[in-house]
């Protein structure tokens, strides 16, 4: 049984990896990271977007997809149960219920409890369609159905966790809604490109932490997945004051931090930002005639 101090400062683990189209190898990597974190007594382990695989083509991405009832999620359920940890499966290629008529997937952030049960699923709402001058072109909407809702924060041993995925990081409306609903941790499992990661990754994560006075947790893909795609990495944990308190270096690994809930409450108490918000103004701009 956790002590009172451990309950107020739970340890979480945030993972970094390089997924490929080899689902078995990816599972082996994730299993090793989760077991390592469990041995360190982490109560919750966060895996990145596309922890299951990253395909080398749209056709391969769709062919490898599974349902939430499929073999892969069952294996992760067993892993959570064996290790007695909660898992954030940061971006699962989920076959939809209408697959025969609409063969596209959802980019689904799945939370498993320590019994291996699914307690929440958030399907990515903002899809990454970009053409960068650096040469990076991605069309997530070509094979992904956008999610239709934001889900409530999940009560976990690490705190109340608000769910998002990667590109959602650029849309602060989600984080604001989740923090108003009680989130203490905002999580952005990602596979950021190198150009956007170099320019925006850390500053966006720190901004979401500061403006919402939440811990921000960002598991990440890193390195070359295939000849067409490379990810930035730098998985990290940011505290409610905006300080980076843990970060992965290059390659596969895990970083750890305590979620200091008394500190979070102190930050919110000393600067009560939520109480200063003006939602009565935010949905409109008043246009007045000069003079």
> Domains of the chain (ranges plus CATH)?
9-279 (3.60.110.10)
User: Which residue, among 69, 94, 78, has the nearest Cα to 30 in the 3D structure?
Assistant: 78
For 65-125, give the DSSP string. Answer: -B-TTSHHHHHHHHHHHHHT-EEEEEEEEEEPTTTTT---EEEEEEEE-TTS-EEEEEE--
- Residue-level pLDDT at 6: 60
What are the residues whose beta carbons fall under 8 Å from the beta carbon of 85, sequence distance 6 or more? 34, 37, 38, 42, 43, 44, 45, 114
Residues 134-159: tens digit of each pLDDT: 767 777 888 899 999 999 999 999 99
For 73, residues 6+ apart whose C-beta sits below 8 A from its C-beta are: 66, 89, 92, 110, 118
User: Residue 277: which of 184, 215, 211 has the closest Cα?
Assistant: 211
| pLDDT tens-digit map of 155-211 | 999 999 999 999 999 999 999 999 999 999 999 999 999 999 999 999 999 999 999
Assign 129 a pLDDT band (cuts: 50, 70, 90): confident
**How confident is the model at residue 225, as a pLDDT?**
97
Confidence of residue 246 (pLDDT cuts 50, 70, 90): very high
* pLDDT over 60 (residue 60): yes
Helix (H) or strand (E) holding 228: none
pLDDT(291) > 80: no
What local confidence, expressed as pLDDT, does residue 139 receive?
Answer: 78
Provide the annotated active-site residues. Answer: 49, 124, 166
| Selected residue with higher pLDDT from 91 and 4 | 91
CA distance 264 to 185: 10
Neighbours of 16 (CB within 10 A): 27
Q: For residues 20 and 54, what is the distance between their CA atoms, to the nearest angstrom?
A: 5
pLDDT at 7: 67
Query: Mean pLDDT across the stretch 219-238?
Result: 96
Whole-angstrom distance, CA of residue 83 vs CA of residue 115 = 9
């Amino acid at each position: 049984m956790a002590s009172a101090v451990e309950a107020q400062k739970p340890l979480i683990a945030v993972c970094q990896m390089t997924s490929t189209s080899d689902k078995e190898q990816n599972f082996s990597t994730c299993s090793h990271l989760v077991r390592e974190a469990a041995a360190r007594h982490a109560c919750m382990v966060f895996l990145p977007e596309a922890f299951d695989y990253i395909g080398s083509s749209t056709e391969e991405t769709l062919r490898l997809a599974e349902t939430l009832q499929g073999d892969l999620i069952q294996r992760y359920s067993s892993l959570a149960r064996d290790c007695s940890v909660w898992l954030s499966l940061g971006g699962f290629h989920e076959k939809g219920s209408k697959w025969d008529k609409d063969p596209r997937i959802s980019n689904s952030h799945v939370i498993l409890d320590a019994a291996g049960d699914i307690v929440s699923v958030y399907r990515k709402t903002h899809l990454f369609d970009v053409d960068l001058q650096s040469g990076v072109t991605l069309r997530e909407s070509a094979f992904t159905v956008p999610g239709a809702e934001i889900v409530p924060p999940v009560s976990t041993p690490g705190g109340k966790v608000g769910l998002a995925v990667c590109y959602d990081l650029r849309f602060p409306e989600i984080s604001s809604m989740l923090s108003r609903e009680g989130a203490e941790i905002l999580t952005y499992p990602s596979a950021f490109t190198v150009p956007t990661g170099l320019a925006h990754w850390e500053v966006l994560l720190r901004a979401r932490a500061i403006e919402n006075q939440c811990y921000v947790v960002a598991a990440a893909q890193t390195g070359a997945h295939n000849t067409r795609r490379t990810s930035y990495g730098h998985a990290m944990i940011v505290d409610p004051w905006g300080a980076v308190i843990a970060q992965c270096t290059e390659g596969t690994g895990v970083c750890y931090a305590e979620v200091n809930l008394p500190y979070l409450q102190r930050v919110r108490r000393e600067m009560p930002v939520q109480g200063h918000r003006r939602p009565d103004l935010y949905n409109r701009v008043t246009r007045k005639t000069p003079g």
